[in-house]
Every structure is written in C-alpha cells, then in structure tokens.
Structure 1
Amino acid sequence: MKPLLRVVLVIDALLLLAFGLLFLLTPWTSLYNALQLAQVEPALVGQGFGIALLGLAWLALHASIDGAMTRAVARTVGHVNWLTGVLMLVWLIALRSPSLSAFGQLVGAVVAVVLVLIGLGGVRLAAAVRRREKAQAAGAGATGREQKQAEKAEKQAAQAREAEVYQTEPVTKVSPPVSPATGRRVEPDFTAAHQPGVVTAETRTVETRSTQTHTAADEARDAAADSPGAPRPPFHG
C-alpha cells in the first residue's frame, strides 16, 4: 500500500512541477495565447503562485523518498489537488469564466478531473496506510505485552520452585554433647582432643577410672551375694 502511495506522490510532484513552471512563465504572453490559456494579471501574482507550486512539488518528491513524511504529505497534497480540480470545474462549467475556446474548455475540464481523481486517490491511500500503521503498532504493542507477561510468569515460577526446594531440604540440628560428670553441655572445641582417631592422656585417664569403678562395683556385688546372711533367690525346680 505504501509503495503505491509513493507512486501517487511522484505523479503529484510532476503535475505540480508542470503547473509551477507554467505560472512562472506568466509574463510570456505569446505562450499563453498559443496554449489558449487565460492570462494572469498581474504577472507577479502568477509567478508567486508558480513558486509556491514548485515548493509543493519538491515536498511531494521528497516525501516519496522519505517514508516518515509519505503519509502526511500525501494527504496534504491530495486535498490541495482535488480542491483545485473542483474549483476549476466550478469556474469552467458553472461560471464559464474565463471565456475560452471549446478546445481550451475541454483541456481545462480534463485537467480538473485528473486533479480531482489523483487528489482523492492520494487521500484515500494515505488513510489506508494510516490504518495499517495503527494496526501494526497495536499488534507490536500486544506482542510486547505478551512477552512481558510470559517473562513475569516464568520468573514467578522460578521463584516458586526455589522456595519449594528450600522448604523441602532437611534441616539437621546437631546438639552439643553432654558431660556425664557434670551433666552440662560440652561446647565443641576443634582441638586435637576432639579430632577423630586422636587419643590424649586425659581420655586414657577417664577410661581407666571408669573401668576401675565398674570392677569395684562388680566385686562388691559378688561379696554381698556370698555372705551367710544374704538372701537367696527362690528355687525353681
């Protein structure tokens, strides 16, 4: 759609260039008489109008190359063209002014119809391009929002998985050992005495005392059992 609009802009630029040059040649009376055109009075007005048309032609040509200006310039030039064509038809058909020959009136009417058709075509194409650009922008915006929502959902899912793994991990709490002599907790001390496979003199002393205590207790129990007055367990036959 936009390439077709650029073609229309090139045609508009050529038409505007031709009319601009024609109005610049307003002082050339013989040329106007040969073309059976009405003479513009004063000539200064015709030349000023010609310069304006040349500027509009350059703008249309530039807009056909620059995509950012295509739609706006095509709409503006289109409105100028069809309004000019309608104005020409009103003066030539309704008011019959200026008074031209049959050939001059025919040429003027054809030019006016061409301006109306090209102008309206450019306006409609510009509107179609605008609607398409809006639809593309809306689609791009919707795609961007969907991508953001997908990224957000993925991030939330990753956070939920991390929280679930953290909750399912077993938490083991190692309680400090309790001393059998004092009944208090013994704080861990990373020394040679607490390293596995290392036996110190203190450890040996504690083991020797524990063995002697157990031995003395066993001997006292045996002596009490062998005494004459000691109770005997009942005989079971």
Structure 2
Amino acid sequence: MTRTRRPLAALIPLLVFLAVFAVLVPLGTGTARAESNGGVKVMPLGDSITDGFNVAGGYRVGLWQKFTAGRYKVDLVGSLFNGPAGLGDHDHEGHSGWTIQQIDDNVVNWLRAQNPHTILLHIGTNDIYGSDPAGAPARLSTLIDHITAQAPNAELFVATITPLGFLDSTVRAYNAAIPGIVQSKVNAGKRVHLVDMYKALTPADLADGVHPNAGGYDKMADVWWRALLSVPGSIGTPSSTPAESTAAGSTAYGNGSAAQAA
C-alpha cells in the first residue's frame, strides 16, 4: 500500500503552535536550569516572600543588583529557579505556602546538595495563620539547629518576618522570640546572625496584606545587603572587575505563582 505524504504546508500550523506553546509554558522548578558563576554560594531560603510572589524575583532582584554594583561574585543556589531576565542568578529555595516544619523536613537534603556558604532565612509567615502559631518559635529553633548541624561553617542570617495586614499581635509575638533564639545559638558557638526585617517594612509596603510590593522587596534587599556586609566574608570580598552575570535571555517563571499564602 502506498502511503500519502502530508505536504509540509499542512504541518506549519502545528509547528507554530508547538513553538508558541514552548515559549508560554512556565519553566519548571528543578535544578536543570541551575546557574553558577563560581562565586560565594548564598541560599535564599523561605516561602513565597523569598520566591517573589507579586513581584518576580522579589528581594533577590535588588540584592543581586547590589552584589554586582559592589563587585561581589555571588552564586545564588537552590533547587528552584525563577525571576526576571535582569536577575543574574535565578536559583533559590523559596517555597510558596510552606511552613517552618515543611522547610525543616527538607532543608538537610538541600544543604547537602548545594553546600552554601551563606543562608538567608525568612520563614514563619504561614505559621502565623496556621493551627499552632504559638509553637512557631520552637519550630524555628529546631530548624536553626538542623541547619547549623548540617552546615556548621555556613553563615546563617535569620530574619524576623515582614508585617502582615492582619494578626499583627501574633506576628509581633513570633518576632519577639527570635532575638533570644538567635542569641542562644550564638552562645553555643554557632554562626547565626539576627536580621530585623519587620522594622524595615510597614503595611503600606504590602501588595496584598501578606506579600511585599516592589518597594517593600527593595527594602528587604537593602536590609539583607547591610546584614551581609556586617559579617566579613559572608559574600566574599569585592573583585577588581565587575561581577559576572549568569542571566538567561528571557524571563523565568517559577513555582506556585497562584498561591495566596506566603
């Protein structure tokens, strides 16, 4: 039996559709797109505020700009990948909707895989409106212990969480416990540093009562930057030449962009 060949012209609409589909589908969240410039490994760790809900890349964009302007060679690391093209390194561990316990359940594996020199931890927002907000400080303390046990030589920066448009007394109670937790780890010889993120933002810096707007994320970037500079070696030393950018040529979309929790 003779087979009839389909004319090439008949295949063009299908090829066009597939090309458009490939462009529009968001990039995955695995490590296949991981970027590295060989710099000091820094892991942004937390929930959707680290991911950058409402503003692609969140505080990571402004912080990256400070790294490059200051000629610091930094390699952001993590199993997730998203943010705008202008963000030179899209890797992070910002898991939308996750609680302290969920981060704790996975953090040892992430640390083994990435071996970061510095960790930026902002977590607890989803615990505030969870079933046990009063237990959040204890869970944070346990998380810090697990991080420092797995990565004892890493510099761990622990932030108070940003304000919410509701439950402010609960947020304040959680944040009030963090300095004591951090100090107890410092007293035990651990490389843990307190970062007061709550005071840097106001409810006016929130886009939806939970996640920062662009201005709020810029404020977060500034607070992280100043905290990093206060600990010599946390991001290496400035280079005499501009830091490399590993930016991809197009916007990378990430995980859980429709999530309403942090």
Q: TM-score range by the shorter chain?
A: under 0.3
Which is helix-richer, 1 or 2? 1
Which is strand-richer, 1 or 2? 2
TM-score by length of 1: 0.22
Which protein is bigger by CA-based radius of gyration?
A: 1
TM-score by length of 2: 0.21
Q: Which has the higher contact order (CA 8 A, sep 6+)?
A: 2
